[in-house]
C-alpha cells in the first residue's frame, strides 16, 4: 500500500501530526481513496497562516488537507475519542524547566536560609 520512502520521510522529519497517529491510521488512506462512499462537504474557518503551514506539512507527507481531515475523522470514529490529548495546560519549555530545577536546588540547598514566617523574612531583607 505505501512504499518505504514514505515511512522514511516521516521518520526523518518532525511533523504537525504525531508519527504514531499516522502509523495507526495509514490503512484509512487506502479506504478513503478506494471506497465508493457518498461524500459531503463542510467548511471550517481557520487562520490563514496556520492553513498554509499545515498544507506545507501535509504536502511533505504526500497528502492534501482533505485526506488528512478524513484520516482524523476516521480515527475519531474508530476509537470514539479525539486521537490526541487536548489540554489547556501549557507545556514548559527548556528555559522554564531549567528555572524550575534551579528553584528546587536553591530551595533544597542547606546553606540557603529558610524563614518560618513573613516577619523573619522581612527582618532578614531589611538587615
Tell me the whole-structure pTM to 2 decimals. Answer: 0.45
60 DSSP 8-state letter: H
What is the domain range of residue 102?
1-127
Per-residue pLDDT at 23: 52
The answer to whether the CB of 26 falls within 8 A of the CB of 62 is no
The answer to whether the CB of 111 falls within 8 A of the CB of 64 is no
Instruction: Check pLDDT > 80 for residue 11.
Output: no
Domain count, the chain: 1
Lowest mean pLDDT: which of 33-37, 83-87, 120-124? 33-37
**Cα–Cα distance between 101 and 95 in angstroms, integer?**
10
Q: How confident is the model at residue 49 (pLDDT cuts 50, 70, 90)?
A: very high
**Cα–Cα distance between 64 and 100 in angstroms, integer?**
41
Selection from 81, 72, 70, 6 nearest residue 39 by Cα: 70
* 79-121 tens-digit pLDDT: 999 998 887 777 788 999 999 999 999 888 888 888 889 999 8
**Cα–Cα distance between 6 and 31 in angstroms, integer?**
18
Amino acid at each position: 500500500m505505501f512504499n518505504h520512502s514514505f515511512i522514511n520521510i516521516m521518520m526523518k522529519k518532525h511533523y504537525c501530526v504525531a508519527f504514531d497517529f499516522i502509523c495507526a491510521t495509514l490503512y484509512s488512506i487506502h479506504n478513503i481513496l478506494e471506497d465508493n462512499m457518498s461524500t459531503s462537504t463542510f467548511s471550517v474557518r481557520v487562520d490563514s497562516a496556520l492553513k498554509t503551514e499545515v498544507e506545507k506539512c501535509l504536502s511533505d507527507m504526500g497528502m492534501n488537507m482533505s485526506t488528512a481531515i478524513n484520516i482524523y475523522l476516521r480515527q475519531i470514529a474508530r476509537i470514539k475519542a479525539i486521537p490526541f490529548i487536548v489540554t489547556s495546560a501549557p507545556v514548559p519549555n527548556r528555559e522554564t524547566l531549567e528555572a524550575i530545577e534551579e528553584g528546587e536546588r536553591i530551595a533544597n540547598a542547606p546553606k540557603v536560609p529558610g524563614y518560618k514566617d513573613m516577619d523573619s523574612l522581612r527582618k532578614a531583607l531589611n538587615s
